[in-house]
Amino acid sequence: MKEIQKMIENGQLNELSALLAEMNESALRNLVSDLDAVDKVFVFRLLNKSTAAGVFEDLDVDQQALLVSSMEDPEVLHLLEIMDPDDHARLFGELPASVTKRLLASMSPEARNAVNLLLGYPEGCSGRVMSPRYMTAREGQTVENVLYGLHKSSLRPDEMESIFIIDRERHYLGYIRLGQLIKATPDTPITELIKGENVFAYTRQPRSEAIDLIMEEDIPTLAIVDSEKRLVGAITFDDALDMMEEDTTADIHRSALVGPVKTNIKDASVKMLYKARLPWLLILVFVNVFSGAGIALFEETIASVIALVFFLPLLIDSGGNAGTQSSTLVIRAMATGDVDSKDWLRLVGREAAVAVLMGCTMAIAVSVLGLVRGGPEVALIVSLTMIIVVLVGSLIGLLLPFLMSRLKIDPATASAPLVTSIADISGVFIYFAMATWILGI
Amino acid sequence: MKEIQKMIENGQLNELSALLAEMNESALRNLVSDLDAVDKVFVFRLLNKSTAAGVFEDLDVDQQALLVSSMEDPEVLHLLEIMDPDDHARLFGELPASVTKRLLASMSPEARNAVNLLLGYPEGCSGRVMSPRYMTAREGQTVENVLYGLHKSSLRPDEMESIFIIDRERHYLGYIRLGQLIKATPDTPITELIKGENVFAYTRQPRSEAIDLIMEEDIPTLAIVDSEKRLVGAITFDDALDMMEEDTTADIHRSALVGPVKTNIKDASVKMLYKARLPWLLILVFVNVFSGAGIALFEETIASVIALVFFLPLLIDSGGNAGTQSSTLVIRAMATGDVDSKDWLRLVGREAAVAVLMGCTMAIAVSVLGLVRGGPEVALIVSLTMIIVVLVGSLIGLLLPFLMSRLKIDPATASAPLVTSIADISGVFIYFAMATWILGI
C-alpha cells in the first residue's frame, strides 16, 4: 500500500506496472478500494484493459461512481460494456445527473434502452434492480427445443439457471430449472415440468419482498412482471445476496439514528457524516429537556439529600439498557417477519415478567451500594426505583416499535438512542417521585 | 387463527380438516408457526403426509425442533426422509441429545453417516452446514459424459447447477456451471471449461467466510474441502441466504448485549430471555458505579448550584448517543469488511472533526436553555461540556470496537449500551470538573 503510494509520488511508472501485473484481481480490488480518488484512477490506467474491467465490475457501486466521475468517456464506455444493465442502473443512480446523461448519450441504443427502463422505477423497488437478461420459453415447446435455444443464445451460463415460461402475450406462466431439462427426456413438453406459477414479484413491489421470495422458494432467479403479469425482468440470487447486505447495513445505521451514508464509511466526508448524524442528536437534545424539567420539579428533594444524585446515571441507564434490549429484539423480529404489528398484546405479559425478574436481581445488587452510600432509606428508594425503571424501560422498548409501525414510521427508528432518552425521562420522574414519597418531603 | 384455535378446543376435527385442506403450503406454514406447541402437533397430524412434509421442510429450525420433540418416532422419520442431510444436522443440533441419539438409531445407515459427519464439525464452521449432495466429474471427461451422468444421477435439479471437478484422489480442481455444458459442444473436454480452482472453503473455516465467498464469486454452490483439499461437501446459495439472515439476527441481538436466543422471539420463554438479557445489564450496573463515584467527588459543587443537575441527563445522553452512532458505523463496517482493525488511526481525525462540528451545533441549542434556567455561567458550562462530551463520546464509540478486536473480543460487544455507560462516566467527570473550575469552587 505505502510502497505503491510512494511509487505514484515518485512517478516510478515501470516499477508500478510490473508490480500491478503480478497481483491477482482480488488483491487489485482491495488496493483500488483503499487508495485516494486520484491514485485510484492512476493505478487503474496502468492495468491492462481486461484486468481493469474485471476489477471494476467487482468494486462497490460508490467506488465505481468515484472512478467513473474522474475518468474520460471512452474509458468509461469500455468498462460499461462489460457490466450488466442492472448494474448500470445502480451505478447511474449514484452518479451526478449530468454525467449520467452524457454517458447514456454515448452508449449503444439497446444498452441505453435497458438502463432507461430500469431508471424509470423508483429506488428500492424490484423494477429498479431487475436484469433484462434471462431465458424465456413458450408454452408449446419441448425440452429439446429449449435446450437448443439455450445452446444458441447469447446469454451467459449463469443467466440460464431458470427458464421462464410465457404465453403469446408474454404473460408469466411459471419457471423451470435448467437441471429439470437435463433430467427429462428430450421430447417432454415443458408444460409438464413447469413450476411456481405464483412465484414472481411486480416491478413496483419493494425489492425486499423480492429477496424474501428468493429466500423462501430457494430459486436462483425470480421473475419480475408488470401490473398485467407480463414478464419484464429477473432478479438473480447473487443480486439478492448483495442487496440483502446493503439493506442490512442501512437498517443497522438507522438503529443508531444515522441517516443514509451512501458510501464506504472509510471514504465518507466530514460534511456527509455531519448531515447524516446531526438531526437525530438535536432532536434527542430537545427530548431530553423534559428530563431536565423533571429534575427541576424535584429541586427541594435533591437539595435535602444530595446523595440521591449519585444513583441517577446508574438508574436511568439501567432502564435505557433494558429498553434497548427489548426494542432491538422486537425490531429485528419485525424485520424478519417473526413478529407482526398485531402481536404486541401477546408479548406484553411475558416482557413484564422478564423485566420484573431482571429488575429484582439488579435491585439486590444496587441496594448494597445504596446502604453504603446513603443509608437504609436511600437503599430502599434505589432498589424500588430499579425494579420500576427496568419494567417501564422494557415496556417502552417493547411497545415503541409497534406504535411506530402503526403510525407507518419505520420501527427501526425506535432504537437504542430514542428508547434510552424516553426511558431516561421516565426514570427521572420515577426516581425522584419515589424519593419524595419515601422521605416524606 | 382464532377460528382454528376454537375448532381445536371444540374438537371439530372434520371442519378443521376441511379448512386445512383448502389452505396452501405457505398459509399452513404461517399457521403452524403461530400456534402453541400442542396445537401445532394437532394441526400437523391432520395434514396429509406430503403436505405435512412440505410444510415441515420450510419451518424455522426451532419450530421443527419443537414439533419433533412432541411427535412419535415413526412420524418424525417420515419427515426426516424428505429433508436434506445438512438440514438434518441443523435440526439435530437444536434437539436434546437423547432425542438425537434415538432418532439417529432409527435412520437409514447412509443418512446416519451423513448426519454424523456433519455433526462432527463444531458449530459455526462450514463443515457443519455443508450438504453431501452435489455433482462431481473427473478431469478426463467430456461435456457429453458429464451431461449423461447428470441425466442418470439421483440428484435433484437444484443440486446440479455447479459441477465440481476432482482428480483420482478427490482433490478439488475447480468447478463448471451447468449452463457452460449447454453452451459447449458435446465433445469438449471439461478441463477446457474449468474455473475457480481457488474458489472453495475448508471444513473448519467459519461459515461466514464461505458465505462471503459465495457472494463475491456469484456462484450457486461452493465446494467445501478437507485439510488436504479433498472435496467433502457443498454449500448452496439458498443455505447462504438463510445463514446470512441468521447471522445478522445474532449480530443485531449482540448489539443490544442480548445473549443467544435460539428461537423465534415469539416462542422464547421467560427463563430463556432472563438468562440472555441479565448478564450484561448487571455488568453495566457495576460499570455505572463509577459515574456515581464521580458525582460523589463533586458533591460540594452540586450542593452550591443544584441547577447543574437539570442538565446532567441531557449532557450524558448526548455523549452516549454520539458514541452509539460512531460505534454502530464502525462495527458494521468491520462486519462487511469495509474497515479493518488497522484503519483506526485514519478515522480518528475525521471523527474528531465531525464530533466538534456536531458538538458546537448542539452547544448553541443548549446554551439558550442554560441561560434561561441557570444564568450565563451555567450556560457557558453546559455549552463547553456539550462540545467535549460529544467529542469524547464519539471517540470512545470509534475506538472501542478497534480495541475489542485487538483483544480478540467480538467488536459487536462495543455497542450502544456499553458505549453509553462509558460515555456517561466520562460525561459526569467532564461536566462537574468544568463546573467546579468555571464557578471557582
Residues B318, A353: C-beta atoms closer than 8 Å: no
Q: How far is B11 from chain A (nearest CA, A)?
A: 24
Res B46: pLDDT: 78
> d(Cα A125, Cα A133) in Å, to the nearest integer?
18
The 3-state DSSP class for residue A195 equals strand
Q: What's the CATH superfamily of B135-255?
A: CBS-domain (3.10.580.10)
Residues B350, A273: C-beta atoms closer than 8 Å: yes
Residues A248, B249: C-beta atoms closer than 8 Å: no
CB contact set of A375 (below 8 Å; sequence gap of 6+): none
Q: How far is B10 from chain A (nearest CA, A)?
A: 23
| Chain A residues lying within 8 Å of B299, measured CB to CB | 306
> d(Cα B62, Cα B264) in Å, to the nearest integer?
7
Return the axis-axis angle of helices A270-297 and A416-439, rounded to nearest 10°: 10
Nearest CA in chain A to B292: A310
> d(Cα A396, Cα A325) in Å, to the nearest integer?
11
Nearest to B218 among A158, A255, A307 (CB): A158
Partners of B162 in beta bridges: B177
> d(Cα A1, Cα A437) in Å, to the nearest integer?
66
> d(Cα B277, Cα B257) in Å, to the nearest integer?
7
Residues B332, A357: C-beta atoms closer than 8 Å: no
Per the CB < 8 A criterion, the answer to whether A195 and A179 are in contact is: no
Residues B329, A177: C-beta atoms closer than 8 Å: no
Residues B270, A350: C-beta atoms closer than 8 Å: yes
Per the CB < 8 A criterion, the answer to whether A299 and A365 are in contact is: no
Report residue A374 CA to chain centroid gap: 48
Res A239: pLDDT: 86
A and B: number of Cβ contacts within 8 A? 332
Q: Are strands A231-236 and A221-225 parallel, antiparallel or unpaired?
A: antiparallel
Q: Is the confidence at residue B69, as pLDDT, over 90?
A: no
Residues B318, A218: C-beta atoms closer than 8 Å: no
Q: DSSP code of B60?
A: -
Least-confidence region, from B52-56, B96-100, B233-237, B385-389: B96-100
| Chain B residues lying within 8 Å of A266, measured CB to CB | 333, 338-339, 343, 346-347
Q: How far is B159 from chain A (nearest CA, A)?
A: 8
> d(Cα B24, Cα B39) in Å, to the nearest integer?
19
Q: How far is B105 from chain A (nearest CA, A)?
A: 30
Neighbours of A437 (CB within 10 A): 12
Helix runs in B256-311, H state only = 270-297, 299-304, 307-310
> d(Cα B332, Cα A252) in Å, to the nearest integer?
7
Nearest to B299 among A306, A312, A327 (CB): A306
CB contact set of A344 (below 8 Å; sequence gap of 6+): A398, A399, A402
CA distances from B224 to A117, A260, B231, B353 (A): 40, 37, 6, 46
Nearest to A366 among B214, B285, B314 (CB): B285
Per the CB < 8 A criterion, the answer to whether B317 and A428 are in contact is: no
Residues B265, A330: C-beta atoms closer than 8 Å: yes
B328 touches chain A (CB under 8 A): yes
Nearest CA in chain B to A135: B179
- Of the pLDDT bands very low, low, confident and very high (cuts 50, 70, 90), residue B210 is very high
- Helix (H), strand (E), coil (C) string for A38-80: HHHHHHHHHCCHHHHHHHHHHCCHHHHHHHHHHCCHHHHHHHH
> d(Cα A238, Cα B373) in Å, to the nearest integer?
58
C-alpha cell at B137: 466429474
Nearest CA in chain A to B26: A216
> d(Cα A134, Cα A140) in Å, to the nearest integer?
19
Q: DSSP code of A206?
A: B
Helix runs in B83-157, H state only = 85-94, 97-106, 109-119, 126-129, 143-152
* Preferred mutation among A32, A309, A426 to probe B, highest tally of B CBs within 10 A: A309
Look at B352 and A76; give whichever has higher pLDDT.
B352
Q: DSSP code of B184?
A: S
Q: How far is A140 from chain B (nearest CA, A)?
A: 21
Q: DSSP code of A189?
A: B
A340 touches chain B (CB under 8 A): no
Tell me the residues of chain B between 374 and 403 that have a Cβ less than 8 Å away from chain A: 390
Q: Are strands A221-225 and A200-202 parallel, antiparallel or unpaired?
A: parallel
- Of the pLDDT bands very low, low, confident and very high (cuts 50, 70, 90), residue B382 is very high
Domain B135-255 shares a fold with domain B267-439: no
> d(Cα A410, Cα A412) in Å, to the nearest integer?
5
What is the CATH number that goes with domain B267-439? 1.10.357.20
Tell me the residues of chain A between 59 and 118 that have a Cβ less than 8 Å away from chain B: none
> d(Cα B415, Cα B423) in Å, to the nearest integer?
12
Quote the ipTM score: 0.75
B159 touches chain A (CB under 8 A): yes
A364 touches chain B (CB under 8 A): no
- Of the pLDDT bands very low, low, confident and very high (cuts 50, 70, 90), residue B105 is low
What does the angle CA B199 – CA B204 – CA B210 come to, to the nearest 5 degrees? 40
Tell me the residues of chain A between 182 and 221 that have a Cβ less than 8 Å away from chain B: 182-183, 214-216, 218, 220
Neighbours of A69 (CB within 10 A): 14
User: What single-letter amino acid sits at A406?
Assistant: R
pLDDT per residue over B31-62, tens digit each?
A: 877 777 777 777 777 777 777 777 777 777 77
Residues A347, B266: C-beta atoms closer than 8 Å: yes
| Chain B residues lying within 8 Å of A321, measured CB to CB | 257, 280-281, 284, 417, 420-421
pLDDT tens, position by position, for chain A (441 residues)? Answer: 777 778 877 777 778 888 888 888 778 888 877 777 777 777 777 777 777 777 777 777 777 777 777 776 677 777 777 677 677 777 777 776 667 667 766 676 667 667 767 667 787 888 888 887 889 999 889 999 999 999 998 888 888 899 999 999 899 999 999 999 999 999 999 999 999 899 999 988 998 899 989 988 889 999 999 888 999 889 998 888 888 888 888 888 888 888 887 777 777 888 889 999 999 889 888 888 888 888 889 988 988 888 899 999 999 989 999 999 999 999 888 888 888 888 888 899 999 999 999 999 999 999 988 888 888 999 999 999 999 999 999 999 999 999 988 888 888 777 788 898 899 899 999 999 999 999 887
Identify the architecture of domain A2-121 in CATH: Alpha Horseshoe (1.25)
Nearest CA in chain B to A285: B314
Nearest to B158 among A177, A291, A313 (CB): A177
Nearest CA in chain A to B340: A266
Residues B257, A325: C-beta atoms closer than 8 Å: yes
- The long-range contacts involving B48-51, CB below 8 angstroms and separated by at least 24 positions, are B48/B21, B49/B78, B51/B25
Domain positions in chain B: 2-122, 135-255, 267-439
Q: DSSP code of B122?
A: P
Q: How many percent of chain B have pLDDT more than 70?
A: 92
Per the CB < 8 A criterion, the answer to whether B223 and B137 are in contact is: no
Res A113: pLDDT: 66
A435 touches chain B (CB under 8 A): no
Q: How far is A341 from chain B (nearest CA, A)?
A: 12
Q: How far is B102 from chain A (nearest CA, A)?
A: 31
What is the CATH number that goes with domain A265-439? 1.10.357.20
> d(Cα B118, Cα A143) in Å, to the nearest integer?
37
DSSP of A223-275, one letter per residue? EEE-TT-BEEEEEEHHHHHHHHHHHHHHHHHHHTT-----S-GGG--HHHHHH
> d(Cα A394, Cα A412) in Å, to the nearest integer?
16
pLDDT per residue over B248-269, tens digit each?
A: 888 888 888 888 877 777 778 8
Look at B15 and A398; give whichever has higher pLDDT.
A398
Q: How far is B101 from chain A (nearest CA, A)?
A: 30
Nearest to A338 among B177, B237, B266 (CB): B266
Res B360: pLDDT: 95
Q: Could you identify the residue written with the cell 460529544?
A: B390
Per the CB < 8 A criterion, the answer to whether B246 and B128 are in contact is: no
Nearest in space to A59 (alpha carbons), one of A71, A81, A39, A44: A44
Q: How far is A123 from chain B (nearest CA, A)?
A: 22
Nearest in space to B259 (alpha carbons), one of B239, B274, B241: B274
User: What single-letter amino acid sits at B291?
Assistant: S
| Chain A residues lying within 8 Å of B277, measured CB to CB | 322, 325, 354, 358
> d(Cα B254, Cα A138) in Å, to the nearest integer?
50
* Preferred mutation among A325, A360, A419, A420 to probe B, highest tally of B CBs within 10 A: A325
What is the CATH number that goes with domain B2-122? 1.25.60.10
CA distances from A105 to A61, A76, A130 (A): 21, 13, 22
- Of the pLDDT bands very low, low, confident and very high (cuts 50, 70, 90), residue B145 is very high
What does the angle CA B192 – CA B197 – CA B198 come to, to the nearest 5 degrees? 155
Nearest in space to B428 (alpha carbons), one of B313, B263, B265: B313
Residues A416, B324: C-beta atoms closer than 8 Å: yes
> d(Cα A137, Cα A56) in Å, to the nearest integer?
33
Res A181: pLDDT: 93
Return the axis-axis angle of helices B237-255 and B207-217, rounded to nearest 10°: 120
What does the angle CA B197 – CA B156 – CA B237 come to, to the nearest 5 degrees? 50
CA distances from B406 to B344, B400, B411 (A): 11, 10, 9
CB contact set of A55 (below 8 Å; sequence gap of 6+): A25, A28, A29, A32, A44, A47
| Chain B residues lying within 8 Å of A312, measured CB to CB | 295, 309, 312-313
* Preferred mutation among A32, A238, A287, A314 to probe B, highest tally of B CBs within 10 A: A314
> d(Cα B112, Cα B108) in Å, to the nearest integer?
6
> d(Cα A225, Cα A199) in Å, to the nearest integer?
10
**Longest CA span, chain B:** 94
Tell me the residues of chain B between 232 and 261 that have a Cβ less than 8 Å away from chain A: 237-238, 240-242, 244-245, 248-249, 252-253, 255-258, 261
> d(Cα B434, Cα B386) in Å, to the nearest integer?
11
Res A118: pLDDT: 67
Res B263: pLDDT: 74
Residues A332, B183: C-beta atoms closer than 8 Å: no
The 3-state DSSP class for residue B165 equals strand
Nearest CA in chain B to A321: B417
User: What single-letter amino acid sits at B199?
Assistant: V
